[in-house]
């Protein structure tokens, strides 16, 4: 079977469309269950402890037990909440997370009970814009949850999340522009087809770095988990939620992680295509094998999420917003101009990738200089001498130095 194009969609019988919808839904649910378990296991190992190892063999049933525990908890509704919006907010957060996966290509054309069909639910000329639009709707659930809870901390968490998503959504969209210029299409299946020879991560490295940073920020994951910072906001926007309503927010977070990871795979890592040197094997990019490569790439990004959570401390909010507005967006704009000039000059292939490496080094140096600017060593308090005994100056011990 060959790679699908836009003409391959819209011809499936109804039963096959329903089967695809159910398959995508089950895939996302299973990915969430496994991701929660793997995250707790890996965090335990990275912190030199075992992690879950009591429920089931090797703790493999921990995610299932957590789901049952949340379902059996009492669904308390605090007094003073806006009840309709309070109940609608979790649904508003979780539904767009599932819808965004509808245009993600998971494989080439295959045969299902004699019907040739692409391993993708649907596709259209502006599929990437559909993903950006749908994922943007999810933030309404977080904002409404914070506002309807009738409490200060959830409201602050919701406002933080809205500002965070708006800022990093712009950087994410800008990182896609260079992909559109190189692929000549906004269709997800067309973008995968354009990477048959060289993956865009090679020739568009700055866009890839900007996207990976933006996807972590948009999904509210550490070190960018400021909307639910427990040291500042108790639990953030979901402080007043419990039972299944809280579980829906967690489900939306992990499904969004899977969706943006799949989108990164599609836009920059060749989608379902096999990596080198496996790509040299005849027939490796046909049939059901590409589904394996797609899942492996998605899990590579999910591992990156876990690694970042175990490694980096949470940023201050002003540092986080400065990174988005003062670093990621200017870099994206400059890189778009560079790619457009190179494309108009007929320069393709590895040369833009080399230029990307030089630009990336310059950007990292600029970021390091910017973050280091203003950091100075705390001043050494001067001492007075009273009757031969050193006495610190008044107020010297109370001076707070912002580091």
Mean pLDDT, rounded, for 237-249: 87
pLDDT given for residue 286 in this prediction: 87
Q: Which residues of 199-218 are buried (b: 16+ CB within 10 A; e: fewer)?
A: bbbbbbbbbbbbbbbbbbbb
Q: What percent of the chain has pLDDT over 70?
A: 85
Q: What percent of the chain has pLDDT over 90?
A: 38
C-alpha dihedral sign at 74, 79, 80, 84: positive
Q: Please say if the pLDDT value at position 180 is more than 90.
A: yes
pLDDT given for residue 368 in this prediction: 60
Which residue from 128, 132, 102, 131 is spatially nearest to 28, judged by alpha carbons?
102
Report the 10 Å Cβ neighbour count for 48.
6
Report the 10 Å Cβ neighbour count for 152.
12
Q: Report if residue 12 sits inside a domain.
A: no
Q: Please say if the pLDDT value at position 399 is more than 50.
A: no
Residue-wise pLDDT for 46-59, tens only, equals 989 988 998 888 88
Which structure tokens are listed for 367? 């970021």
Q: Are 174 and 327 in contact (CB under 8 A)?
A: no
Q: Count of domains in the chain?
A: 1
Q: Please say if the pLDDT value at position 282 is more than 70.
A: yes
Residue-wise pLDDT for 8-39, tens only, equals 888 889 999 999 999 999 999 999 999 999 99
Q: Is the peptide bond before 188 cis (omega within 30 degrees of 0)?
A: no
Q: Please say if the pLDDT value at position 307 is more than 80.
A: yes
Residue-wise pLDDT for 104-155, tens only, equals 999 999 989 888 999 999 999 999 999 999 988 888 888 888 889 888 888 8
Q: How confident is the model at residue 350 (pLDDT cuts 50, 70, 90)?
A: low
Q: Report if residue 382 sits inside a domain.
A: no
Mean pLDDT, rounded, for 92-96: 91
User: How many angstroms separate the CA atoms of 345 and 181, rounded?
Assistant: 13
Q: Report if residue 256 sits inside a domain.
A: yes
Q: Report if residue 89 sits inside a domain.
A: yes
Q: Report if residue 175 sits inside a domain.
A: yes
Residue 91's contacts (CB-CB under 8 Å, 6 or more residues apart) are 141, 248
Phi, psi at 108, each rounded to 5° = -80, -165
Highest mean pLDDT among 6-10, 141-145, 343-347, 389-393: 141-145
Length of the chain: 403
Which structure tokens are listed for 121? 């639910």
pTM here? 0.85
Residue 251's contacts (CB-CB under 8 Å, 6 or more residues apart) are 32, 94, 97
Q: Report if residue 254 sits inside a domain.
A: yes
Q: Report if residue 308 sits inside a domain.
A: yes
Q: Report if residue 379 sits inside a domain.
A: no
Its domain, for residue 358, covers 76-274+285-370
């Amino acid at each position: 079977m060959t790679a699908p194009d836009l003409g391959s969609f819209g011809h499936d019988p109804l039963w096959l469309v329903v089967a695809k919808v159910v398959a995508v839904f089950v895939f996302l649910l299973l990915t969430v269950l496994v991701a929660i378990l793997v995250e707790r296991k890996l965090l335990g190992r990275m912190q030199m402890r075992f992690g879950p190892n009591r429920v089931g063999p090797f703790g493999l049933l921990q995610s299932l037990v957590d789901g049952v525990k949340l379902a059996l908890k009492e669904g308390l509704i605090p007094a003073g909440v806006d009840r309709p919006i309070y109940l609608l907010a979790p649904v508003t957060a979780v539904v767009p997370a599932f819808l965004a996966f509808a245009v993600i290509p998971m494989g080439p054309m295959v045969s299902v009970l004699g019907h040739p069909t692409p391993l993708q639910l649907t596709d259209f000329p502006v599929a990437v814009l559909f993903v950006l639009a749908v994922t943007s709707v999810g933030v309404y659930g977080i904002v409404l949850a914070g506002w309807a809870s009738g409490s200060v901390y959830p409201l602050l968490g919701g406002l933080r999340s809205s500002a965070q998503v708006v800022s990093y959504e712009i950087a994410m969209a800008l990182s896609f522009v260079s992909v559109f210029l190189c692929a000549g299409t906004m269709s997800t299946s067309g973008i995968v087809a354009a990477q048959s020879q060289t993956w865009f991560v090679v020739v568009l490295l700055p866009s890839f770095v900007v996207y990976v940073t933006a996807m972590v920020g948009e999904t509210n994951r550490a070190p960018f988990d400021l909307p639910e910072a427990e040291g500042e906001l108790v639990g953030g926007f979901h402080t007043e939620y419990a039972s299944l309503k809280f579980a829906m927010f967690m489900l939306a977070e992990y499904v969004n992680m899977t969706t943006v990871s799949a989108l990164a795979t599609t836009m920059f890592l060749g989608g379902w295509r096999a990596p080198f040197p496996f790509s040299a094997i005849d027939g490796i990019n046909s049939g059901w094998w590409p589904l394996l490569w797609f899942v492996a790439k998605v899990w590579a990004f999910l591992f990156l999420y876990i690694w970042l959570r175990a490694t980096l401390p949470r940023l201050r909010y002003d540092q986080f917003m400065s990174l988005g507005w003062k670093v990621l967006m200017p870099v994206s704009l400059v890189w778009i101009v560079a790619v457009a000039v190179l494309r108009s000059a007929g320069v393709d292939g590895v040369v833009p990738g080399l230029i990307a490496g030089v630009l990336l080094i310059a950007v990292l140096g600029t970021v390091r200089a910017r973050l280091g600017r203003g950091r100075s060593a705390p001043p050494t308090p001067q001492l007075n001498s009273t009757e031969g005994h050193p006495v610190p100056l008044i107020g010297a011990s109370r001076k707070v130095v912002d580091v």
